[in-house]
């Protein structure tokens, strides 16, 4: 099954509650939650209190949290307490990947590892048995609404041919047009910000993703 994870970053921030309700009404229950610290990426976004607020209002919502931070290990327990289901950290800032993934698991979450576009997928190979979820960035992290980088798709193929059977997520510039290509390459989790929350008809997008296998 292909999971669609709309990114809250692209939602109408003045009406977040309505946006999450709209997403759930479209039959989508995974929400991608981008946390930015203005160090790892040149932007600031949301923190754990908003994650907790969304989860409290929508207990059926699966919080897919992506930490774009220099010091993500300081926030593992904080996001567990805030209701995160999956916690994804960037490989670029980790010294001890198995230790970090173990801390996430012990806190009761699924563990994810992400790479920026310039980080080779080969750097992930030692950890394929350690992680539940790999997130391939297909834009430079920091902002929604950027153009998809097609050359990153090869990373998905490499991970599948190396035998990775967990979740492969793609984040950045994903839309209804490039979704099929990503799924064919082996992705099974599609983060979609602008293309979902700014769509004229988000339900049509959700239905189109459900058709993909």
Residues serving a catalytic function are 34, 171
Q: How many residues does the chain have?
A: 213
With CB under 6 A as the contact rule, the residue among 100, 191, 205, 206 that binds ligand DX5 is 191
193 is a contact residue toward ligand DX5 (CB under 6 A): yes
- Residue, CB closest to ligand DX5: 193
For residue 3, what is the DSSP state? E
List the one residue out of 10, 152, 96, 213 whose CA is nearest residue 113: 96
**CB closer to ligand DX5 out of 179 and 195:** 195
**Which residue number, 66 or 110, has a Cβ lying nearer to Zn ion?**
66
In the list ligand DX5, Zn ion, none, the entry touching 6 (Cβ below 5 to 8 angstroms by class) is none
* Binding residues for ligand DX5 restricted to 99-118, rule: CB under 6 A: none
86 close to 56: Cβ distance less than 8 angstroms: no
Cα gap 53→156, rounded to integer Å:
33
CA distances from 117 to 49, 155, 169, 212 (A): 29, 10, 14, 25
* 64 in contact with ligand DX5 (CB under 6 A): no
Rule CB under 5 A: say whether 66 interacts with Zn ion. Answer: yes
State the Rg of the chain over Cα: 16
Q: Please, what's the b/e burial string for 192-201 (b: 16 or more CB within 10 A of its CB; e: otherwise)?
A: bbbbbbebee
Residue 34 contacts Zn ion per CB under 5 A:
yes
The least distance separating ligand DX5 from the CB of residue 149, rounded to whole angstroms, comes to 11
CA nearest neighbour of 117 among 99, 135, 104: 135
User: Per-residue string for binding with ligand DX5, 13-52, x by CB under 6 A?
Assistant: -------------------x-x------------------
Contacts with ligand DX5 by CB under 6 A: the residue count is 21
Residues that bind ligand DX5 (CB under 6 A): 7, 9-10, 32, 34, 66, 139, 141-142, 144-146, 171-174, 191-195
């Amino acid at each position: 099954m292909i999971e669609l994870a709309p990114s809250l970053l692209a939602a109408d921030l003045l009406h977040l509650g309505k946006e999450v309700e709209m997403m759930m009404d479209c039959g989508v229950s995974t929400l991608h939650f981008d946390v930015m610290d203005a160090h790892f990426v040149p932007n600031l976004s949301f923190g754990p209190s908003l994650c907790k607020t969304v989860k409290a209002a929508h207990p059926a919502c699966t919080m897919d949290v992506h930490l774009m931070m220099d010091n993500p290990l300081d926030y593992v327990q904080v996001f567990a307490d805030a209701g995160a289901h999956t916690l994804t950290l960037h490989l670029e800032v980790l010294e001890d990947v198995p230790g970090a993934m173990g801390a996430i698991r012990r806190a009761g979450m699924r563990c994810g590892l992400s790479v920026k576009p310039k980080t080779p997928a080969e750097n992930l190979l030692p950890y394929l048995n350690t992680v539940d979820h790999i997130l391939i960035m297909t834009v430079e992290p920091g902002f929604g609404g950027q153009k998809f980088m097609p050359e990153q798709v090869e990373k998905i193929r490499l991970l599948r041919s190396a035998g990775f059977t967990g979740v492969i997520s793609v984040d950045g510039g994903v839309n209804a047009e490039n979704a099929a290509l990503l799924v064919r390459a082996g992705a099974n989790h599609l983060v979609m910000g602008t293309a979902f929350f700014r769509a004229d008809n988000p339900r049509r997008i959700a239905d189109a993703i459900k058709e993909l296998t």
